[in-house]
Structures are given as structure tokens and as C-alpha cells.
Amino acid sequence: MLSRLSYFFCTLVIICGCFFFYPKWNAPRGEAAIGWDVSGYYWYIPSVVIYKDLKYQRFADTVLQKYQPTPEIQQFSRYPDSSCVLTYSSGMAFMYLPLFTVAHVLAQPLGYPADGFSPPYQFALQVGSMLFALFGLWYFRKLLLHFFEDTIVAILLLLLVIGTNYLNYASIDGPMTHSWLFTLYTFLFLNTYYFYRSPSMKYAIRIGLLNGLMILIRPSEMVGVLIPILWGMETISMQAIREKLLFFKQHLSKLIVAVICVILVGSIQLVYWKYVSGHWLVFSYGGDDKGFTWLPPHTDVYMFSYRSGWIRYTPLMLLALIGIIPFLRNGKNKVAIMAFLLLNLYVVSAWDIWWYGGRAMIQSYVGWFFPMGAMVQTMFHRRWLQWIMVPVIILFSYINIWMIIQAHRGTGLLDVDNMTKAYYMRVIGRWHPGNLEQLDKLKDTDELFEGTPTNMKLVYSNDFENDTSIHCPEPPIQGNVSDYVSTNREYSSNMVFALPDHSPKWLRVSADFRFAHKQWEVWKMPQFVVEFLSNGKSIKRNNIRPGKFMNENETKNEFIDVKLPKEPFDSVKVYFWSAGSNWDMLLDNVTVSTFSEN
């Protein structure tokens, strides 16, 4: 069968990504398999099995110092009574437990410390996660075959693995929750299908245990209960609701058992919270920004932001969104699937830290590939649509592969946290887009001159030698005085001047800079600002952060090129803003020149 061949090809791709492209078990610190969020999911196991200290975490500092899975403690929060509450829920710890057990048995015989974080544990989590993903992918194929013909299923498997971020989380970042949840959702869909085809207690128990386990992994996965509750409904009519209620009445005992299973599994977390904190419910994430905004959610930026938008970084899923149209016409189980997809998107995008990206959508791809399948079916029946879709699929799949390569072994082009539209459009899909330092300015400004300036004329300069109001706390860059910004001086001197000639198209403003200490947090870096004014009102503002291109104690000239605005203006203002920097920034020898394009 063609879908079987497709599965084996996808398996080969995933294995190559895991073992050859980026074997994370060999990576250091937070890049290792047990790093960042994964270390938090996993922390329950060594706490209980090895160190026997789940409540007070006395061993944590030693482990963090040795392996550095995170720069500082993020795995738990410490209460005033010295008890500690682990940040993440415990579901993934149960999933990791068989992998941990194998590694724990083999660690010392292989010559490694049995401390929960040495290479055998890293290897076990990485490879075990990949195997579980392949297991789920095989059953995902079985699920799709119940609804689509074999050729369609073969294409859908390729689209999932080659065209979406599922590949990254199945092969490279496998220990994260997403591919695990994808597999669990696959089992939930399959057991729901089997239950409605032949209702029996074993399927009800499986459905309850699967829902409970997914909630234990991520409480927001409670949206998954909509799948078994609404399965089989094609409309939201009174007749359909009555039939559903009658079905539940006929199988009430199975429904009760399923609910009990959900509660039993989900209550594990409540028992843990009660043990370590004395409270049944704890919001373990902490922080004012780590909550939900329900009205309105951040759906638009979550999906389309250049910073980390789901569709922006996995554009192939746009076809699944379009596929909703044919799916609503001809698909099966429309109410259950669409209710699940829409509510899940709502919950995921309501999280206030919406820029964590489209990875949270991966588990829901089990549902999204029903509309995707409907779209592929439509393409098969309309040749003109094939001519449009095939190139689009190839392009979007290429972008997905480019994203994965850049994320792990790239040339520094992918910087999701600081992405802007201008920078994204300039680098997307390219391997050698030009001077990286100059391109990096597009993360601050949307204008970059890359040609050869002509008719360059100096229109303003300032070396601050005659400014007696400046009392720089450090030795000047040149001469007797340099301007500066610091924690105590948020803004530099304002330099306001008129342009004698508005006919040139560009303005280049340059200055010499020096930092005694590097400010690493980008959002705190001092900004080099050019502003155009009309009667004192700002009509255009551009800026860059010179500190991104400099080392400590380095003196360097940096410049910003700005297009003259089309709107009338009477003056230009140049200044520097500390933006909350922890350190001083010195600046000197400001020059402003106009120039034209070649």
C-alpha cells in the first residue's frame, strides 16, 4: 500500500533527524535532551527515585550546577516554608518513566553516574521519544485510513512530516510534550471511533484514561473531552442533541466509568500539590504575565505574527484552514472535530505568553488533518487546483525544512524572539541573504539601504566638546567629553536640526559607541533613534540597537539609514535612549549625511 511506503519514508526522515542531523543527547546544557521545559517535566522522577526529595529539592543546586539544563532554577518555585512546587504537571514524568528505568539500570554498567542526567538518561529520553512518535505515526495512518483512501493518506503523512513543525518535535525536540500528545490524541480518536462503532467497556476505559493522562500532561488538553462527547454529530440540531443524549443514556455505565478514569488520573496532580504545599490547587507557573486573557484572546498574533505566528512559521497549515470549507461540506464527525479545533485554538491563543509559538498546535494536528485531507481530496478532483496547490505545497514544505535547519544548525538567520516583518521577508528561505550585521538592523527598523550611496553631503555633526552640561562618568571616547546614557540618564542630549535640502531620498546618521559592559537582554539595549518632526510632532521614527553588534570595551562606529518621509517635515531629531539598560553607553562624533540611491 502506498501509505505504508509513505510511513516508512517518514520514519527514515525522522530517524535521520534524530541520529544524524541533531542528536540532542550530545548537546550541552539547555540544548541537551533534558533541558529547559523538558527538565521541568522530568524533574519528578529523579526527585522521587534517586534523591528521594520531592518536597524540598535539596539536591537541585548540585544538579543545576553540574548539568545546567536551565540558566537558573525554573523547574520549581520555593515557598516561604522551604517547600517547593514543581512548575509543570506530572503527566510527562509518567511517560518518561520506562525510558528512565532503562537508563537507570544501564548507567553505572556503562560507566556513567546514575544521577538522572548523565548521557544514558539523555539518550533514553531522546530516542524513546522518537520511537513513541513513530508508534503514534503508524496508528495515525490507521486512523486516517478509516476516512480517506490510501493515496490520500500517503500524501497526508508526507505533508505532516515534511511540511509541518511536527517533524522537529518528533525527531529533534521529541522529549517535549507535543509529539507525545499527538500520539495520545491519535489513540483517543481511534478508540472513540471504535467505541461508537461497537460500544464496549474496554473502549470507554481507554477513552477515560487517555483523556485523564493528557490533562495530567497539560491541563489545557481537557478540550480533548469534546472528541468522545460529540463524536458522530454532523449538525447542531435538536434532533442530533436528542440522539446524543439517548446514546449516553443507553451507555450510562460506560460513561460513568470513563469519567471516573479521567478523575482518577487527573487527581494525581491534586494529591501532589496537597503533599508539597498543603493546597489542593496551585498555580505553579507564577508571574503576572503567565495567565490567560479570554476576551479577547491573542488569536490573530498567535497565528500570524512575524515574531512566532503559527501559520507564519508553519505555512502549510494554511491549507488545513482552507480545508475547513470542503470538510464542512463532506466530512464526517464535523461537530466533534470542529468544536475541538476551534476551542483548542481559543485556549492556546488565550495564553498571555502567546509568542511561545505554534508548537502548542502540534497535538491538535490529529484533528486538523481531517480538513487537510478534505483539501487534498478536493485537489485530486480538480486538475486546475493541482497546478496551484502542488507548487504551494513544495514551497511551504521547503520553508518548514529551512526553519528546522536554521533553528538547530543554521547561520544565525532565524531569531524568532526578535523577528519583524522586514527581517522575516528579507531572510525567509534564503541561505546567504547578505551582510548579517546589516540585516540584523531590520529587527529594529524596516528600512535598510544596501546599494552604493551617491551625492553624500554632511548636514550635521556633533562631537559634544562644547556641551558643558554633560558629565560623563567614564573616560570619553575622544577629546574631553562624550555623551552617554545610563540607568541614571535615560536620554542623551537631543540633537535637533533642519535639512537644507529635501531632495535626497536617504539620511545616514552615524556615531562612535563604547560599552564597558555588554547588555545582553535585547529589549534593554540602548537605542539609536532618528525622528522626523513637523511643528514638534513626530511623523516618523526609526531606531537600531548598536549594542547587538559590539563587544565589551570595544569602540565602534555604527550607522542607521532612514528614508526621508513623504510627509512634510521641518526638522530632524537624533537622540539615544537607554531603554532600561543596566550599563552605561558612551557615544561621540555624531554625523548626519544625506544621500541618493545609485
Residues 73-102 have pLDDT tens digits of: 999 999 888 899 999 999 999 999 999 999
DSSP three-state, residue 357: coil
Q: Are residues 361 and 476 in the same domain?
A: no
Residue 288 has pLDDT above 60, yes or no: no
Q: Are residues 10 and 76 in the same domain?
A: yes
- Read off the pLDDT of each residue in 359-381 and give the average, rounded to a whole number: 96
Residue 525 has pLDDT above 70, yes or no: yes
> DSSP alpha helices (H): ranges in 479-565?
none
Percentage with pLDDT > 70 across the chain: 99
Question: How many Cβ atoms from other residues are within 10 Å of residue 279's Cβ?
Answer: 10
Which pLDDT does position 212 carry in this prediction? 98
Residue 258 domain-assigned (yes or no): yes
Higher-scoring residue by pLDDT: 584, 363: 363
Which pLDDT does position 412 carry in this prediction? 86
The mean pLDDT of the chain is 95
Would you place residue 443 in the very low, low, confident or very high pLDDT band (cuts 50, 70, 90)? Answer: very high
190-221 tens-digit pLDDT: 999 999 999 999 999 999 999 999 999 999 99
Q: Are residues 450 and 322 in the same domain?
A: no
Angle value at C-alpha 490, between 489 and 491, nearest 5 degrees: 95
Q: Are residues 395 and 495 in the same domain?
A: no
Transcribe 135-167 into DSSP letters.
Answer: HHHHHHHHHHHTTS-HHHHHHHHHHHHHHSTHH
Which pLDDT does position 516 carry in this prediction? 81
Q: Are residues 389 and 473 in the same domain?
A: no
Q: Are residues 469 and 372 in the same domain?
A: no
Q: Are residues 121 and 32 in the same domain?
A: yes
Domain boundary among 385, 402, 419: 402
Which pLDDT does position 487 carry in this prediction? 87
Q: Are residues 7 and 146 in the same domain?
A: yes
Tell me the torsion sign for CA atoms 58, 40, 45, 205: positive
Which pLDDT does position 502 carry in this prediction? 80
Which pLDDT does position 218 carry in this prediction? 97
Residue 220 domain-assigned (yes or no): yes
- Read off the pLDDT of each residue in 431-443 and give the average, rounded to a whole number: 92
DSSP three-state, residue 591: strand
Residue 552 has pLDDT above 90, yes or no: no
Angle value at C-alpha 213, between 209 and 218, nearest 5 degrees: 150
Q: Are 304 and 348 in contact (CB under 8 A)?
A: no
> Mind spelling out the 3-state secondary structure of 47-76?
HHHHCCCCCCCCCHHHHHHHHCCCCCCCCE
Which pLDDT does position 553 carry in this prediction? 87
- Read off the pLDDT of each residue in 352-372 and give the average, rounded to a whole number: 95
Would you place residue 32 in the very low, low, confident or very high pLDDT band (cuts 50, 70, 90)? Answer: very high
- End-to-end Cα, the chain, rounded Å: 60
Rounded Cα gap, residues 598 and 452, in angstroms:
6
211-252 tens-digit pLDDT: 999 999 999 999 999 999 999 999 999 999 999 999 999 999
Residue 436 domain-assigned (yes or no): no
Residue 287 has pLDDT above 70, yes or no: no
Rounded Cα gap, residues 450 and 406, in angstroms:
23
Q: Are 221 and 265 in contact (CB under 8 A)?
A: no
Q: Are 32 and 69 in contact (CB under 8 A)?
A: yes
Residues of the domain holding 387: 2-402
Which pLDDT does position 369 carry in this prediction? 98
Tell me the three cell numbers of residue 8: 516508512
Q: Are residues 20 and 152 in the same domain?
A: yes
- Read off the pLDDT of each residue in 291-319 and give the average, rounded to a whole number: 95
CATH, residue 482: 2.60.120.260
Q: Are residues 389 and 452 in the same domain?
A: no
254-272 tens-digit pLDDT: 999 999 999 999 999 999 9
Bridge partner list, 512: 557, 588
Would you place residue 517 in the very low, low, confident or very high pLDDT band (cuts 50, 70, 90)? Answer: confident
Residue 184 domain-assigned (yes or no): yes
Q: Are residues 510 and 388 in the same domain?
A: no
Rounded Cα gap, residues 65 and 96, in angstroms:
23
Which pLDDT does position 479 carry in this prediction? 94
Residue 286 has pLDDT above 70, yes or no: no
Which pLDDT does position 506 carry in this prediction? 96
Q: Please state whether beta strands 585-596 and 454-462 pair in parallel, antiparallel, or not at all (unpaired).
A: antiparallel
312-347 tens-digit pLDDT: 999 999 999 999 999 999 999 999 999 999 999 999
Which pLDDT does position 381 carry in this prediction? 87
Rounded Cα gap, residues 186 and 355, in angstroms:
26
Residue 581 domain-assigned (yes or no): yes
- Read off the pLDDT of each residue in 40-68 and give the average, rounded to a whole number: 97
Number of domains in the chain: 2
Rounded Cα gap, residues 511 and 527, in angstroms:
12
Which pLDDT does position 187 carry in this prediction? 98
Residue 425 domain-assigned (yes or no): no
Residue 426 domain-assigned (yes or no): no
* Nearest Cα residue to 592 out of 484, 457, 464, 500: 457
Which pLDDT does position 289 carry in this prediction? 64
Q: Are residues 132 and 257 in the same domain?
A: yes
Residue 9 domain-assigned (yes or no): yes
- Read off the pLDDT of each residue in 362-373 and give the average, rounded to a whole number: 98
